[in-house]
Amino acid sequence: MTDSHSHVAHQFDDLAQQQDASNLGMWAFLATEVLFFGGMFAAYAVYRTLYYDAFVAGSQHMDVLLGAINTAVLLLSSLTVALGVHEVKRGNNAGLTRYLLLTITLGLTFLVIKGFEYSHKYADGLIPGVHFTLDGPEHVGLYFILYFVMTGFHALHMIVGVGIMTAMVIMTRRGRFSPEYHNPIEVSGLYWHFVDIVWIFLYPLFYLIRVHP
Amino acid sequence: MTGGGFSRRIYYAVGITLLVLFLLTVGVAYIDLGALNIVVAMAIATFKTILVVLYFMHVRYSSRVTWVFVSASFFWLVILLVLTLSDYVTRGV
């Protein structure tokens, strides 16, 4: 038995098949995630269609700049993940660790900025059911409910992502990965990119409804 | 599968393209296009998604069955959104 075969679980013919299977499994999970977030995007689309003025009024309370910074932070973090996967395929585990730590830092930056935004919303009385004092058009609360539920679930996915990436750093330091075997890095990357994609849609939908004069 | 993937240059190129498209999203939002604002924003977001899926998520060189899974999740999302909205948009409330 050669060294590279020791990474192949007994149900697989070879490494390539094992790699394909783990990627496919992650995509099956991501398909359920697409529909999980999809339901909320559908709710957003329906209520935005019905109560457009309320959505415009609600979105005037968003911090476009903080949202923009967070978008850039997440796009950069996707790049660092992709570069990390690239390094492990070439056996550069030090490079992988560096990119994973960079990714975690960017992820935490996103969460801290989001935390500031949430606390501003609380101070301004914009959290339905908790502290809501906005005297806007009818149904303006719906905009904020969707905002907190959708960005909240997104932030929860970010927290999970940071946890997964931390586990990947520990596994990398224990020498688990090599150019032959790095499925966990690859599928963790898929998850991270998916969470990034969700934000790619959340940002224009909540922050940029009507910013033009 | 050892090695494989794209070159480092391609990842940087995709990353920079994503950032440029993001700036474009913000810029276009400040121009009054009426009902077209949302259409442009969603078109750019969809294009960014395609870039991330094909390059960062390596679907461009993934197996055919992965393509089927990716397309299926997109297809069901379209059913969810289009059929739901076709109801609400045509009710004339």
What are the helix (H) ranges across A60-182?
Answer: 64-89, 93-123, 140-173
Compute the half-sphere exposure of residue B80: CA atoms within 13 Å on the CB side of its CA. 19
**Do B72 and B58 reside in the same domain of the chain?**
no
Domain boundaries, chain A: 34-207
- For residue A1, pLDDT over 60 is answered with no
Phi then psi for residue A190, to 5 deg, are -60, -45
Structure-model confidence comparison of residues B13 and B4, the more confident one: B13
pLDDT in tens, A47-102: 999 999 999 999 999 999 999 999 999 999 999 999 999 999 999 999 999 999 99
Considering the domain architecture, whether residues B78 and B54 belong to the same structural domain is answered as no
- The per-residue pLDDT for A6 is 73
Residue A203 pLDDT > 80: yes
- B8 shares a domain with B53: yes
Residues B3 and B32 in one domain: yes
Write out chain B residues lying below 8 Å of A16, CB-based: 1
Report the residue of A22, A26, A30, A75 to disrupt the B interface, i.e. the one with the largest count of B CBs within 10 Å: A75
- The answer to whether residues B14 and B54 belong to one domain is yes
CA–CA gap between residue A126 and residue A141 (Å, rounded) = 8
Checking if the pLDDT of B3 tops 70, the result is no
Same domain? For B50 and B12 the reply is yes
* Same domain (yes/no): B37, B54: yes
B5 chain-A contacts, CB cut-off 8 A: 85-86, 89
Question: What is the C-alpha to C-alpha distance for residues A6 and A186, in angstroms, rounded to an integer?
Answer: 19
pLDDT band at A212 (very low <50, low <70, confident <90, very high): confident
Q: Is B6 helix (H, G, I), strand (E, B) or coil?
A: coil
Looking at the structure, tell me whether residues B57 and B72 fall in a common domain.
no
> Is B42 within 8 Å of chain A by CB?
yes
User: Which residues in chain B touch residue A7, judged by CB atoms under 8 angstroms apart?
Assistant: none
CB contact A160 to B (< 8 Å):
no
Burial class (CB in 10 A: 0-12, 13-18, 19+), A15: middle
CATH code of domain A34-207 = 1.20.120.80
**C-alpha radius of gyration, chain A, whole number:** 20
What pLDDT, on a 0 to 100 scale, did the predictor assign at position B91? 83
What is the predicted pLDDT for the residue at B93? 59
- For the stretch A148-198, pLDDT in tens is 999 999 999 999 999 999 999 999 999 999 999 999 999 999 999 999 999
Buried b (16+ CB within 10 A) or exposed e, A172-190: beeeebebbbbbbbbbbbb
Nearest residue of A to residue B57, measured between CA atoms = A190
Let me know whether B68 and B58 are in one domain: no
pTM of this structure: 0.94
Is residue A183 within 8 A of residue A129, CB to CB? The reply is no
- Could you list the residue range(s) of the whole structural domain that residue B91 is in? 63-93
B88 and B43, same structural domain?
Answer: no
Shared-domain flag, residues B45 and B67: no
Cβ proximity of B14 and B50 under 8 Å:
no
Q: Does A36 touch chain B (CB under 8 A)?
A: no
Within an 8 Å CB–CB cutoff, is residue A56 touching chain B? no
Residue A5 has what pLDDT? 55
Burial class (CB in 10 A: 0-12, 13-18, 19+), A22: middle
pLDDT in tens, B32-91: 999 899 999 999 999 999 999 999 999 998 999 999 999 999 999 999 999 999 999 898
Q: Is A4 a residue whose pLDDT tops 60?
A: no
What span, in angstroms and rounded, lies between the C-alpha atoms of B84 and A40?
Answer: 12
Tens digits of residue pLDDT in A5-37: 578 888 999 888 999 999 999 999 999 999 999
Residues of chain B with C-beta less than 8 angstroms from the C-beta of A24: 63, 65-66, 69
Q: Which tokens hold the place of B18? A: 């994503």
Same domain, residue pair B82 and B48: no
What's the total number of domains in chain B?
Answer: 2
For residues A148 and A135, what is the distance between their CA atoms, to the nearest angstrom? 18
Those residues whose C-beta lies under 8 Å from the C-beta of residue A118, and which sit 6 or more positions away, are A127, A148
- What does the pLDDT read at residue A16? 87
Q: What phi and psi values does residue A78 have, to the nearest 5 degrees?
A: -65, -40
